[in-house]
Amino acid sequence: MLISSSNLNQKSFVYPKDWGQGGRGCFAGGGHDGESAFTNKIHYITIATPGNATEFGTSTTKGGCGGTSGRGRGLIIGGFTSNPDTITNDIKYVTIATLGNATDFGDLTRVTSHPACVSNGTRALVCGGESTHYGYNLELNVVYTDMTYLTIATPGNANGSFGNFDIGGRIERVGTQHYQSVGATGNGIYGMIKCVNDKYYYMSIATPGNVYLFGILSGTDNAGSSAFSNGTRAIWNAGGNQIMEYFTWSTVSTAAAFGMDSEVNGNDSTRQVGVMSNSRAVLGAGHSSSSKTHYFSMDGTPVSTLIGAVFGTLLMPYPSSRYGCASFSGD
């Protein structure tokens, strides 16, 4: 049964913000162009205070991983541990309030690169993913269209058969090969995933089932693969033309322009990832040709101009990008 759009209008939680919010933001792994240009380091920022990222610890995962969090625990999901040709089924976790290295949580149902992950604080969904890392062995690539889940408070293996999302319009062709591009955010009750082209779907995180179409973009840009939520809005970061768009959780509809994200050295912020606390969101990593991170208010009035200000810097193991970086927030 289709979920009524009115049910999406949930009151924001005071604490915890169970869609991945918190005072500390973490960036794990990422890089580009070969194993030596990826990092296994985890870095963190204090979201309320602009400044440079500091080392948190390390993980065995170097890139191609997804990230989400709940009740103070951060998860690093899938990706690869050494050569990008070799994808893992590992799930790692950290206690966000305590600096240290990532610990084994359990295993996914299969090896997975670039999953989209979303949480309601108790349950984490792992949506889609691929069997290879972007740019490696694409002729062997398998794109997944199902969702698995795990209970954040209890280390263990992921459970399968949560549901599926529509493959239609979701697969992107590069030459003769295919790869996917998905991202996720939530409002503590529902999750939203982005599919290639302009389709956005939602699901109830607590209830296994398939996804439902939420809406499409208002413009022609294919938005980036990460998003933010203040509980009222779901804001998707920029694609090739810097435009950020947002949906209002209470209304299943077409997205509207939110503003323009940062551009550095002539390059847009494609595939940047972010962290968030209250109304503030911070973007970093991705394809930015800069180590700078930028922040903006998710509560702000939509504009047609740049919305971000420089927050600080983040380690870039490869000079122009930190692809495949997982991000999560918490206290």
Contacts of 201 (CB under 8 A, 6+ apart): 165, 166, 192, 193, 195, 211, 212, 213, 214
Give the tokens for residue 45. 């920022």
What are the counts of helices (DSSP H) followed by strands (DSSP E) for the chain? 0, 28
Whole-number pLDDT of residue 199? 78
pTM attached to this predicted model? 0.91
Residue with tokens 């890392």: 133
Q: Among 48-57, 104-113, 150-159, 277-286, whose mean pLDDT is lowest?
A: 277-286
Residue 279 pLDDT: 92
pLDDT tens digits for range 66-109 = 999 999 999 999 999 887 778 899 999 999 999 999 999 999 99
Question: pLDDT tens, 216-256?
Answer: 888 655 566 678 999 999 998 866 667 888 999 999 989 99
The whole-number average pLDDT for the span 4-13 is 43
CA distance linking residue 168 with residue 243, whole number of Å: 24
Cα of 15 vs its chain's centroid, Å: 21
- Residue by residue, DSSP assigns 290-329 as SSEEEEEETTSPP-SSB--EEEEE---SBTTEEBT-EEEE
Q: Quick check: 299 and 282 in contact, CB under 8 A?
A: no
Q: Name all contacts of 175-180 with Cβ < 8 Å and 24+ positions apart.
A: 177/138, 177/139, 177/141, 178/138, 178/141, 178/143, 179/130, 179/134, 179/138, 179/141, 179/143, 180/114, 180/128, 180/129, 180/130, 180/143, 180/144
| The two structure tokens encoding residue 252 | 């299943």
Cα–Cα distance measured from residue 136 to residue 151, given in angstroms and rounded to the nearest whole number: 31
Handedness of CA 191, 125, 159, 201 (dihedral sign): positive
Between 179-188, 240-249, 254-263, the lowest mean confidence (pLDDT) is in 179-188
CA-based max dimension of the chain: 49
- Structural domains of the chain, ranges and CATH numbers in brackets: 19-330 (2.120.10.80)
Contact 314, 284 (CB under 8 A): yes
Helices (H), 115-183: none
Q: How many whole angstroms separate alpha carbon 85 and alpha carbon 99?
A: 30
Closest CA to 279 of 213, 209, 220, 229: 229
Q: How many CA atoms lie less than 13 Å away from 19 in the CB half-sphere?
A: 30
Mean pLDDT of the chain: 83
Q: Give the pLDDT confidence score for residue 223 in this predicted structure.
A: 61
Contact 241, 269 (CB under 8 A): no
CB-neighbour burial class of residue 106 (10 A; exposed 0-12, middle 13-18, buried 19+): middle
pLDDT at 5 over 90: no
